[in-house]
Amino acid sequence: MIDPHFDDSHRDLDRRYRDFGESHLRAVARHEEAPIERAREVGSRLGESGLLAPAVPTPFGTASGRGVLVARERLAYFSLLAEMVFSAQALAAQLIGAAGTEVQCRRWLGPLASGDVLGAVGLSEPEAGADLGAARTQAEEDGALWRLSGLKSWVTGAGSAGVYVVLARAPGSEGPRGLSLFLLDGEAPGLTVHPIEPMAALPVAEVRLAGTPAVRLGEEGQGLPLVAKAYEVLRPGAAGAACGLAARALDETVRHAQARRQFGRPIAAFPTTRMALADMHATVEAARRLARHAAWLADAGAEEAPRAAAAARLVATGAAEAAVQRALEVHGAQGLVRGSTVERLFREARALRLREGTTEIVRLELAEAILKESR
């Protein structure tokens, strides 16, 4: 792992995640049953190995832009489920660390770093989708507490989480300014989880809240700005996850091309196969360099870091989809077999476009930043 954006600490971190992946993820990634239960097990093992601390801000953890990128890239290479456990932990920890009181940070960030508690964040709703400003979950004040009622969808880690960060609005409010963030205990009364079965076996679920007790996280009406800032911080890591999945598609294709024989020789000898491999490699490397540069800028506190992160996210998710598509072409009929690694990667790659801001929203945000700078 020679890269000018990384120092020895990042290379050591990469080695630790690689060893974890080889020991705990590679052999079981093809098992797609009970994803929520598997997420709980993976989260526990990551915590025991000290590999959730890079998801949590200092001083409770060791999070940095490059550290999060290394973790997510390497985990996604082996298992998108494992990467999603880490990213859910990172998003919950980022929001609590950015907006929590001293008591809230001490209560939750240490356990999130050790893996004693897993985190989940409930933002989207069935009728709102990517338009978080249209969220309708209600938060009614009840003395020192709040009572939340509503339905959150596509919550990563729901069912295995010990703490939830939830976006909800004050009664009678409209628009984005009526939304705040709230903290819920995973065992709180009135909280029920209903697993979702997407085309890829990912640990996502609907969370129904029925008068569930909660405490507010941060200032009233600051829910969406806090979420937007958290996405901005974590976006280089999202690009890293896409690079990890793309790199796995490339490696699987290289192995297949060397082993598969047609017309008396390996298909790796055919010019069309070689051109496909060359294109895949170039695409993955370009995305990887852009993602690592964005993470380096974030750690440096550079003004252009958010724009670089958005560009990296766009390029990397596109690279993942392109790499998986070429992998399917080289594998031929074998790539269409349910349960094969390439077939699984094909289904998982679609999920990358929807996380931490959809690709379309990220594209619009980047265009706005470009136009604003030119004025």
All structural domains of the chain:
8-114 (1.10.540.10), 119-219 (2.40.110.10), 225-374 (1.20.140.10)
Residues 6+ apart with CB under 8 A from 209: 137, 148, 149, 150, 151, 152, 166, 184, 190, 191
**Mean pLDDT, residues 305-312 taken together:** 95
Per-residue confidence band for 28, with pLDDT thresholds at 50, 70 and 90: confident
Q: Is the pLDDT of residue 206 over 90?
A: yes
DSSP state for residue 199 in the 8-state scheme = S
Helix (H/G/I), strand (E/B), else coil: 211: strand
Q: Check: CB of residue 269 under 8 Å from CB of residue 98.
A: no
- The pLDDT of residue 45 is 97
**Mean pLDDT of the chain, nearest integer:** 94
Buried (b) or exposed (e) across 300-334, using 16+ Cβ within 10 A?
eeeeebbbbbbbbbbbbbbbbbbbbebbbebbeee
**Mean pLDDT, residues 286-314 taken together:** 96
**Mean pLDDT, residues 200-226 taken together:** 96
Backbone angles phi, psi at 330, to 5 degrees: -70, -35
Q: Is the pLDDT of residue 41 over 90?
A: yes
pLDDT in tens, 108-141: 999 999 999 999 999 999 988 788 999 999 999 9
- The pLDDT of residue 373 is 83
- The pLDDT of residue 121 is 98
Single-letter amino acid code for the residue at 329: E
Q: Is the pLDDT of residue 375 over 80?
A: no
CA–CA separation, 102 and 366 (whole Å) = 34
The model's pTM is 0.94
- Weakest mean pLDDT among 15-24, 105-114, 120-129, 242-251: 120-129
Q: Check: CB of residue 327 under 8 Å from CB of residue 277.
A: no
CA geometry: angle 273, 276, 282, nearest 5 deg = 140
Q: Is the pLDDT of residue 1 over 70?
A: no
Backbone angles phi, psi at 187, to 5 degrees: -105, 15
Single-letter amino acid code for the residue at 359: T
